[in-house]
Amino acid sequence: MKPIASFTIDHMKLLPGVYVSRKDTLGNETITTFDIRITRPNFEPVMNTGEIHTIEHLAATYLRNQKDYGSKIVYFGPMGCRTGFYLLLGGNYTSKEIIPLMVEMFEYIRDFDGEIPGATAENCGNYTDMDLVKAQHYAKHFLDTILYQIDDAHLIYPES
């Protein structure tokens, strides 16, 4: 079988950042998949499920309610390797174009105060596995070390 695109990226060279993972066409619409890499694969510890789950709930809620992009959100969810998330957006975008959205989203997570949306037995299949403190730590760290001063090394996949 042909390898999928994400398995062709050299994860030993991959840095935290926001990358276009792929672009697909559905009818006349382009779907852009973003690789939002929070930790450096194979160099830093992966995120635990509590913080990943919390980021997922907060980010998905924020994104689907965001005034400019809410209707374009196809999916937001964690990577199986627990180093980041995938965001699928309807439209043909570059990584750089969505950095303001990513900054807003991670600031929302960093500053969130209250009950985590959807974190009830009625709304979620594993609602007790949440860690807001660690989710906010990762959001703040990603903002401070990557998003606020992002450059091409954190926007464009490394060459193999």
At 87-104, the pLDDT tens digits run 999 999 999 999 999 999
pTM for the complete prediction? 0.95
Q: How far apart are CA 89 and CA 47, in angstroms?
A: 24
- Decide if pLDDT at 153 tops 80: yes
Pick the CATH number of 5-154 from 3.40.50.720, 3.30.750.24, 3.30.1360.80, 3.40.50.150: 3.30.1360.80
Q: How far apart are CA 47 and CA 118, in angstroms?
A: 20
> Given this model, what pLDDT does residue 10 score?
84
What pairing do the DSSP bridges indicate for beta strands 29-37 and 17-26? antiparallel
